[in-house]
Amino acid sequence: MPNTTDVAVDPKTRKLRAAASIALAAILLIAIVVSRSKNALVYDTPTLDDAHEPVPRFSQIEDITERKRAYFSYLKPAIALQNEHLLALRDYVQQLQEKLSSSGDELNELDLRQALQVSYSKREQDEVLWLLQEYRVDENQSAGAAFTQLLSKIDIIPEALVLIQSANESAWGTSRFAKEGYNFFGIWCFSEGCGFVPKRRNKGAIHEVAKYNDLSHAMYEYMLNLNRHPAYDDLRAIRKNLREQGKRPTALELIQGLEQYSERGHEYVEELEQMIKTNQELI
């Protein structure tokens, strides 16, 4: 019986085998890269294709009603994109939470890092820890408490609230901060050169008005600010309570949690309420 290792292989077959081996190696490499690649839902900022386009000159529209319509139409796609992202991210975090719960109630009571090591892949552990940092949730607590806090912060901001608050803060998109830096929300930053130096900044103050490279990143930062800053704990508590009742958060309800957004406090909230009621048909 001949030794099969000595059987000659014709050149054509050898080439086919070599090509098949290369293709298989390529497939395996792609699979490894995909498995190790970062989850875009977790790490990426959702961005509109036209987010870098210059801000329209709303002041050039003479008719006030048409100016307001144009302003709302400009912002709505950016608001919708970020809220869609928040809902998708919220759903993913809920899936991770359910994975923990299905492993046994005792894991919910475990230290967060211990529970992560028991229930999740390395990639999932990294994602959870990154989200906790992004949304400023303390890691030094039980896994159950950490997920509860995270879900209270990853949620939508109602469209009407964004439209009206941005109109108030940017004078309907005509402020220089909006026109030159996509900052429709009066957001401050605290490192030199991070934005615009306000002309009426108090002596000794170091804050600047943040400047963004595009509308989508500005919208992401605004919603992140409302979703994680301690000043807006009340807003998130109202929203969480509505969720627990099976209700969708509304602008008029969540506005009650914005007293600390302005030094004017309750007067600021009342002004936003009136703006929503006045512009309801246009929103």
How far, in Å, CA of 212 to CA of 178, rounded? 9
Among 27-31, 104-108, 145-149, which stretch is predicted with the lowest mean pLDDT? Answer: 27-31
Q: How confident is residue 232, by pLDDT bands cut at 50, 70 and 90?
A: very high
pLDDT at residue 9 greater than cutoff 70: no
Instruction: Assess whether pLDDT exceeds 80 at residue 86.
Output: yes
What do you get for the CA distance between the two ends of the chain, in Å?
Answer: 86
**The pairing of beta strand 195-196 with beta strand 188-189:** unpaired
Residue 245's contacts (CB-CB under 8 Å, 6 or more residues apart) are: none
- The mean of the pLDDT values for the chain is 87
**pLDDT tier at 21, thresholds 50, 70, 90:** low
Choose among 261, 262, 209: nearest CA to 235.
261
pLDDT of residue 103 exceeding 80: no
| DSSP codes, 29-82 | HHHHHHHHS--HHHHPPP--TTTTSPPP-GGG--SHHHHHHHHHHHHHHHHHHH
Residues in the chain: 283
Lowest mean pLDDT among 160-164, 192-196, 259-263: 192-196
